[in-house]
Amino acid sequence: MLKNKKSKNGSSTIKTNQIKIFLGLISYFIILIGVFIILLWLFSDIWLVWLVILMGIIVFSIILLVNWHRQNFTYKCEFCEYEFRISFLLDLLSPHGPNRKGGWKYLKCPKCNKRSKVAVIKNSTNISRIDHNLTG
Burial of residue 32, with CB atoms counted within 10 A of its CB: 0-12 exposed, 13-18 middle, 19 or more buried: middle
Over the stretch 66-111, which tens digit does the pLDDT of each residue have?
A: 998 888 889 999 899 899 999 999 999 999 888 887 788 999 999 9
Element housing 85 (H / E): none
- Give the Å distances, CA to CA, from 129 to 8, 84, 85: 17, 7, 10
Show me where the domains of the chain are located: 16-122
CA dist 96 and 99 (Å) reads 10
Over the stretch 3-55, which tens digit does the pLDDT of each residue have?
A: 444 445 444 455 677 678 778 878 888 888 888 788 778 877 777 787 788 78
CA dist 51 and 53 (Å) reads 5
pTM of model > 0.85: no
